[in-house]
Structure 1
Amino acid sequence: MSKRIDVSDLNVYYGDFLAVEGVTMAIEPRSVTALIGPSGCGKSTFLRTLNRMHEVIPGAHVEGKAVMDGQDLYAPDVDPVAVRRQVGMVFQRPNPFPTMSIKENVLAGVKLNNKRISKSDANDLVESSLQGANLWNEVKDRLDRPGSGLSGGQQQRLCIARAIAVRPQVLLMDEPCSALDPISTLAIEDLMSELKDDYTIVIVTHNMQQAARVSDRTAFFNIAGTGKPGKLVEMGDTATMFSSPSVQATEDYISGRFG
């Protein structure tokens, strides 16, 4: 299912403001790519361009290309909703729909896409999605209870189950563990290692240890100063980036000397 994404010369604007400039990178299928860098350097903005989520902000637009297995995600005939169906997203804070049960939360994306589904198929999809998110055994006896009644770590895994229920090819995760305790964080990290067998995963993280643990490739973003655009400084295999990066600024950031 997973797809490769090739980004070339991507500029991201909010109105006249250039937020991210000149990003070129290849995001490999069946792998975890980590985006690291100081706050405000465009990591989350760039992440959102991969499923056109940034377009919900008025005036946001891009120049350049993001191509997924030969399909330009920004071609005039491409529906942004169809892109988001293929490229799912998990946000920084767990956001299950508070009035919906655990089961209804898992099925929410499927129903939003106007897919008719039989009761037995829905039950199978709920089970397979929750198993895919390593949550089934913890909630199988309370599927009709509110999703908001789960712990923070369970809520985040519920959001992952909701994302994978629509069968995307790519999963974007914007600091998915920043609001979680260490045990829940470890559960999400273990889950990412399993999910990359089936999905292309891109994660934004401020946790250097997490990037080193879970990612196959790491991209370092930086910014020259307030009001300047964020830029991709370098990208490579995670082991190489953390042991011998080619740019001094990358080493300074990874080692904690700034950022």
Structure 2
Amino acid sequence: MSKRIDVKDLNVYYGDFLAVEGVTMTIEPRSITALIGPSGCGKSTFLRTLNRMHEVIPGARVEGEAIMDGQNLYADDVDPVQVRRQVGMVFQRPNPFPTMSIAENVLAGVRLNNRRIKKSEAEDLVEDSLRGANLWNEVKDRLARPGSSLSGGQQQRLCIARAIAVRPEVLLMDEPASALDPISTLAIEDLMAELKDDYTIVIVTHNMQQAARVSDKTGFFNIAGTGKPGHLIEYDATDKMFSSPTMKETEDYISGRFG
């Protein structure tokens, strides 16, 4: 199910402002790639280019290529909505739909895509997705209750269940545990480790220990100053990045000298 993404010379603009410049990297299938770097350096902006979410901002555009399955996601004949079906996203703060039940939240993306499914199929999909998000045993007796009735960590796993219900090939996670307590954070990290057997996962995180714990490869982004574009400074296997980075900038950031 998971896919490799080859990014080549990607520039991201908001109007005339160049936000991220010249990113080239290969995101491997069935792996977790962590994006680290100080605030404002373009990590989340770059993440959103991988499913064309940045285009919801007027004037946003991309130059370069993001190739998945031999297809440039930015080719003229590619439908951004279809890209977002293939490349799911989980945001920083849990965002279940407050008026929907737990079960309805899981099915929301499927129904948004105008898929009609039988009641029995819907029930199976809810269970499969909640099991995939390690949430089924905690909520199976209260599926009709509002998604907002869950704890923060459970709500985030519900959002992950909603994302995987549409059967994507890639999962993007923008600081998925930054708003959670340590126990919930650990649950999300354990879940990511399980999900990478089936998905390509890319996460943005400010937590160096989290990046070191969960990711296979790490990309370090930085910015030369206010108003300058973000750059991918270094990209390598996580154990190498955290033990012997090539660039001094990377070493300074990982060791806490700035950022």
Q: Which residue of 1 aligns with 2:44?
A: 44
> 1:197 aligns to what SS in structure 2?
coil
- Indicate whether 1:16 and 2:16 are aligned: yes
Unpaired runs of at least 5, structure 2: none
- Indicate whether 1:7 and 2:7 are aligned: yes
Offset from partner CA, 1:56-91 (integer Å, 9 cap, x none): 000000000000120110010100000000000000
Q: Which residue of 1 aligns with 2:158?
A: 158
> 1:228 aligns to what SS in structure 2?
coil
Q: Which residue of 2 aligns with 1:206?
A: 206
Q: Amino acid of the residue matched to residue 102 of structure 1?
A: I
The aligned runs of 1:30-179 (5 Å cut-off) are 30-179=30-179
> 2:233 aligns to what SS in structure 1?
strand
Offset from partner CA, 1:86-126 (integer Å, 9 cap, x none): 00000000000000000000000000000010000000000
> 1:38 aligns to what SS in structure 2?
coil
Offset from partner CA, 1:133-187 (integer Å, 9 cap, x none): 0000000000000000000000000000000000000000000000000000000
The aligned runs of 1:201-240 (5 Å cut-off) are 201-240=201-240
The CA distance in 2 between the partners of 1:140 and 1:79, in whole Å, is 36
Give the drift of 1:42: 0.1
Give the drift of 1:236: 0.3
The count of corresponding residues between Structure 1 and Structure 2 is 259
> 1:109 aligns to what SS in structure 2?
helix
- Indicate whether 1:258 and 2:258 are aligned: yes
Q: Which residue of 2 aligns with 1:197?
A: 197
Q: TM-score, normalised by structure 2?
A: 1.00
> 1:55 aligns to what SS in structure 2?
helix
> 2:96 aligns to what SS in structure 1?
coil
The CA distance in 2 between the partners of 1:148 and 1:78, in whole Å, is 35
The aligned runs of 1:174-189 (5 Å cut-off) are 174-189=174-189
* RMSD (Å), alpha carbons: 0.2
Percent identity over the alignment? 86
Q: Amino acid of the residue matched to residue 126 of structure 2?
A: V
Give the drift of 1:244: 0.2
Q: Amino acid of the residue matched to residue 30 of structure 1?
A: R
Q: Which residue of 2 aligns with 1:241?
A: 241
Q: Amino acid of the residue matched to residue 193 of structure 1?
A: A
> 1:158 aligns to what SS in structure 2?
helix
> 2:30 aligns to what SS in structure 1?
coil
